Structure formats: structure tokens, C-alpha cells
Amino acid sequence: MKLSQVMKTLLVTALVAGGAALAVQPSPALAAKKKTNVLLFLTDDTGMDQLELYGYNSVPPAPSTPNLASLQTAGLTFRNAWTMPACSTARGVLYTGRYPFRTELQAALGPSDLANSMISPYEQTIPKLMSKAGYATALFGKFHVGLQGNNPYQLSMVNSLGWDYYNGWLDETGDPSSIDTSAGLGDAYDGLYPNGYVPGSANGGADSGACYNSAGKCTPLTTDAGAKNPAGRMCRDDGGIFVPSASCVSPMPSNLDFQTLSAHYVSPLVISQKGRAYAVPPTDKRARTFRNVQQTDAAIAWIKNQQKKGKPWFATVSTATVHTPMQVPPVSTLPLDAPDGNGVDLQTAEGTLLVANQMIQAMDTEFGRLMVSTGLAKKQGDQLVLTAASANTMVIYVNDNGSLGSQVRLPFDPTRSKGTAYQTGVWTPMVIAGAKVNPNNAGKDVEALVNIADLYELIGNVGGINVRKNNPRIVDSVPMLPYLADNTKPSIRTYDFNLVGPNLQANGGSNGPCQFSGSSPPSCSQIPVTKGVCEDNGGTWFGVGATGSYTTTSATDPNATVTMSIPSDGFEYCCQVQQYIVQNGGVAGTVIPTTSMAVRDKLGFKLVRNQYNNYDASSESGCLQTTEEELYTVGQSNPIAPDAPLLDTASRMIATPYSEPDQIKFNELKSYLDSLLTSEPDCLAQGDGNDDGVVNYQDLRNYRTMARRTTGSSWYDVNTDGYTNSTDQQIIVQNLGVSCTN
């Protein structure tokens, strides 16, 4: 026997005797065939009431979404899926499989939130796990589990969480900017074009003019009066600026502004790959393309490239869908019979509804284009026919949280919507189709309880990953693959959970108060992260930097109003705002809970716990911290009205004193909730910045890495003062060896 043959024999013998410590790897082509691709399609603020998929006969009617309906026909519809009440919170849970109180990402991120409340690079995110399993990973569109203002990784923060490639927008607040109401024509035109473009003459604009691109090239445009796609809108949709009733000149007019952002049309686009990131300038056409269209273009190109390589891939396509400030989408993304959206007034319920419908329809159109262009579906007439299973690809559709209150359709509850732990705020659409789904289950429902956290485990399992063995931290997901094989399988989850609360800000700070007078009674929330976000959602800012005045109902005459100026230094809490309104002769509104959470069981019993910094007229400060707990029964159908859900509306709260069975159920849910909340050790203050349960020399090394990146916020700002400095290092040194496990 030759020496080389002897060595091979000894190697094989050693592998067998040693329990195959080394594994023979299949060829890349063979491995790619065996691994299932995953497309995760994630929408924003498109609650249960916004879609036809669940058959609840929403009022006003939900728009038609034929492409999502085709996905539903080919796959499984999950009837009892919960998410979290806010977009950042839901995304954090999805990407880590861990509830918000574990990651400290408890609310929609804003520019004042510390890195401590952003998803940490030390977390075992799903793209990290999929990369280890040989997958190419990419994220397109909305990110919002980190903001560059306080994130040490800045524009590369998406890559720091494990994605190979990112193509999307990193807004300062995490959400679209305000609309440029000058339509790019400069300060002198501010407020003239509230929808961000010059409409046709029928809506106070012009039917002809000059359309300039950022390089100064000009195209004259003329459309008929009353056209659905007037010249100014055509120009804006093509990335240009439209000068109404003008001829082309060279050089282009000096007032044209190609730098100002404008909601869904001019965006802070960032492209990053393997830690190398760059901001696409707003003069670039890609940054001036409607967000839903741009992210679809980018996703199609990337997926096609992976398909050519034969490498398994995991792509997340995250739309901004109906997030405020809303804008009518390009006419090309809408059905031919779509109503005319030019001149729409978003200050009215009718205007809000029209734009919401059209943005949802555009989302559905772009989803269909994504599926067909990547070979995951084909068109047969007007129908989308799924071919994802034969392409060895699983397609997951899910939404991040419930609808915004001003957009909610009945019978869902606009007063208990996005930002709350009630059903309208957390009960989400979820459809899964393609590979791994039993074809005999096509078009069927899954009644079992699932949570958005469970998608972490599902995606990992599809990639052949045991998520618990590969994650040293507590994981809150449960398996979902069994439902794909048998849709009638009993619920694996015993309880479902959701939470929204304040994020960490320097020295215990918080978002300022935002008063909404459109509701009855008026309400005050500290969820909006800035003055601009507050105003884009129809509120009045009462925080630092407040301007103008506030008008509300008189306390002495319900038919009269009182107007008060707002102090420029503002207030810290909503309860103080209510006290100020009362002192000025107005009627106090309701205060939205600072923290809202809920747990439900398989029988439909649900416990909601709300924590308030509530208004108290008898208190000198006007504030009183209170906790309220409410018991409900909820379900996907109402016995009295089968086409309506059983919701946790105020009128359906189970009254106290409870009957004995209800008291037993209340105690059970309360005990579970309390136990769950205490299951996460509080280790940050002791120096455990990587949240691995012990303060050790690895924490010191990590601290030094972060201190080299920034002197500001990081996950090793252990005293949460907004700085990563020697004080944090001293805390780590003092606690070396401390175990933080419960």
C-alpha cells in the first residue's frame, strides 16, 4: 500500500473512531440544492384590518391585494399570529428571537435613544446564523433596529448585525422624513404642494412645464387637464423636479433643490456590503425613486445574482407601506381603475383612506413584480401562480405591527391600535408558502398561537440550524415547521406575549409629549420620537422646542374652545401637559400608557397590563404612576358576528370582582407574566455589555473595541450616561467574575 493510501486509511479510521469530529463537506452545488432559500417580505403598519386576506369585511373596505391573495392560496394563513406594538420592537424580536425586555429595544427607535436600546452586534441574529450555514444574506428597505446617530457602526450598522448586503434607507428618525411641500422648488414655494409634487391644473398646479434631472438635463412635459398622471407627478416619479408653466433653460434655475429629502420619494439611501457602506446622494436617481419600487429593483438584482451563483440565500424585503407621512405612489404601480389621487387632502379621513389604499395596492404590485422577476411565481392572465416550491424557496409574508389609529378600519379599534398591546395593535397578518409547506395544506389556515419571534426559529430551522444550540442567550421562539407539515397540529405555544415601552436614553431621558386633538377625547403619547414625527402624525408637540399654540374644548362651555401658547422649553411628560391644559381652561385628555404588555393563552384569555405616568389633578406635579391590569377573552371570530373578530375593546373587559374561573385564569396569566419578566437578568449596570451572563475579560476587550470606535453611546456605556469612557471601564473591572444568571 502506498504511503498516501495509508494516510487516507488512517484518516478515515480516525474520523470513525472519533465520532466524525470532522465532516466531509458536500460540493457547493450539492449543498446549494439541499438548502432552501428564504424570502421574507415584511410590511409596515399594514394591520389585519388593511387587508382582505382574513375576510373581516373591514369598513371602509380594504383594498384588493391579488398577489398576496395568490400567496395565501398557495400556502398557509396563520390566524392567530402576534407581533409587537411598534416597528423597531417587532423587527428586533424577529431578527433575534428574543422579547423586547431582553434586548432593551422596547419602542420605535428615535435619535435620542442610546445604542443600549439598539440590536447589539453581540446578538446571534438570524442573518449571522444563516451566514454560518452557508447562506448569502441581504436586507432591502427599512432597517430601524439601529440609528446611526448613536450607533458606533454608523452606516455599517446593518452589516454589524450579520447581513452581507444592505440596500435601503437609514433615516435620522428611522422613518420617512417630512414631505418637501415645495416640490423641490425651494423655500419660496414651501407649503404650496402638500403632497410633494406639482399637481395638474385641476388641483391648482399646471399641465405643462420643464422637468429637470439633477444633472441639469431638461425635458418639456405636457399632459391633458385632469390627467391621472399629470406632468408634475410624472417628473417627480422619474426623480426630477418640475418647474410649472415654464420652458427648459440652460443652466437650470438656481432655486431647484435636489438635496432636501421628501418622505417616500427622496430618501437617505445607503448601500453597504461586508462593512463597507456609502450614502447615495439625494441627487442619485435611486435615492429619488419611490421606496417600494427602489427596494424591489435592488432585491430583484441581488436575488438573481445569487441564483446565478447557485448559493442558498436569505433575503428580507422590508417595505415602508403605509407609514406616515403617506404619499400617493407612482400611477404605474396602481390598478387601471384606481381613483384619481391628485390633490388628495390627508387632513381628512377620506384622503387618508384613499392614499392608504393606494400605497397598499402599490405594495402588492411590487410584491408580484418581485416574485415574477425572480422566478418564484408566474403570471397566468391576471393571476399570480406561485412556483417558489419548485425553486426550493420559502416565502414568508408578515407585517410589523397593527395599523396607525387614524387608518384603522372597523370593526377594529382605532383607540387601541399601533403602540398598544391590544389586538388591533399586535394581531398581524402572516402567510407562508413555497418550499417546506405540505402541498396538501395549500390554502388552509393554521389556528395555533404563533409569535413573530417564532419566525427566527423557522428561518433557522429551514437553514438546518438549531437556534438554541447556536445562541447562548435565552431564546423566546418556538418551532413552526410542524405546522407547515400539518396545519391542524395543536398549538406548541402555551402563551403568547407582546410588549412596548420606553427605550433607554441618556440619564433616564424620554421622548417629549405629543398631543393628539383629533381623537375624542384628545390623547397624549410619548411614542413619537421627535417634533417632526409628532406633527407628521397629526399631533401637537409639547416637548423641548415646541412652537405655536394649542386649541381644545373649554372646560366651562363644551361648545366653546380655548387657545393657549405652548412654552418653548416644553414639558417632560404627558401628564404635565394635561395639567397645563386644565390650568388654561381646557379639558384634560387621556394619557397613553408608557408601557403596555399582554399575554394570552390558547383558550383566548388575555391579560393586558398598562403602566402610566398618568394625569392626577390632586397631585402638585399633575402626575401619578399607576398600573392597571385588564382581563379579556379574544379570538379570530365573534360568535355573534362570525365575519368579525372578538376584540379586546373597552366594553368587553371582564368586570371585577371576577368569578372564580376568571380569577383562576387571571392569576395564571399574571403569574406567567411576572415570571417571564424576571427571567432576564439585569447585567448591564454591572458591565455585561455583550449580555452573555458574566462580567469577564471579554467584556474588557469589547469595551476597548467600542471605546476606539466612539466616545459616545455604545453597548458598553454601562451606566447609560451617553458616553463610553473610563467610568464604564471601572465598573467592568470592579465586577470582573460576577455572574448575572438568575
Q: What is the pLDDT of residues 580-633, one digit of tens each?
A: 999 999 999 999 999 999 999 999 999 999 999 999 999 888 999 999 999 999
Report how far residue 320's alpha carbon sits from residue 315's, in angstroms, rounded to the nearest whole number. Answer: 16
> CA angle at residue 437 from 434 to 441, to 5 degrees?
115
Query: In this prediction, what percent of the chain has a pLDDT beyond 70?
Result: 95
Report how far residue 588's alpha carbon sits from residue 582's, in angstroms, rounded to the nearest whole number. Answer: 6
First vs last C-alpha separation in the chain: 59
What average pLDDT does the segment 634-643 reach?
82
Ranges 67-71, 321-325, 738-742: which has the least confidence: 738-742
Parallel, antiparallel or unpaired: strands 540-541 and 514-516: antiparallel
Cell numbers for 540, please give them: 401637537
Cell numbers for 628, please give them: 392597571
- Cβ-proximal residues to 91 (8 Å cutoff; 6+ apart), any chain: 42, 143, 144, 145, 318, 400
Greater pLDDT, 554 or 682: 554
What average pLDDT does the segment 328-339 reach?
96
**Contact predicate 732/699, CB 8 Å:** yes
pLDDT at 27 over 50: no
pLDDT, position 518: 73
Residue type, 639: P
pLDDT, position 152: 97
**What would the pLDDT profile of 16-26 be if each residue is shown by its tens digit?**
333 333 233 33
Residue type, 235: C
Largest interatomic CA distance in the chain: 106
Q: Average pLDDT of the chain?
A: 93
Question: For the domain 36-176+267-484, what is the CATH superfamily, name and number?
Answer: Alkaline Phosphatase, subunit A (3.40.720.10)
What average pLDDT does the segment 48-74 reach?
95
Q: Is the peptide bond before 657 cis (omega within 30 degrees of 0)?
A: yes
Neighbours of 698 (CB within 10 A): 14
From the list 40, 71, 52, 38, the residue with the least C-alpha distance to 433 is 71
Grouping H, G, I as helix, E, B as strand and the rest as coil, residue 52 is coil
pLDDT, position 18: 34
Domain ranges of the chain: 36-176+267-484, 187-244, 511-591, 684-734
pLDDT, position 638: 78
**What would the pLDDT profile of 239-279 be if each residue is shown by its tens digit?**
999 999 999 999 999 999 999 999 999 999 999 998 899 99
Q: In CATH terms, is domain 684-734 a member of 1.20.1300?
A: no
| Residues β-bridged to residue 514 | 525, 541
**Contact predicate 64/365, CB 8 Å:** no
Ranges 2-6, 188-192, 640-644: which has the least confidence: 2-6
pLDDT, position 742: 60
What average pLDDT does the segment 145-151 reach?
96
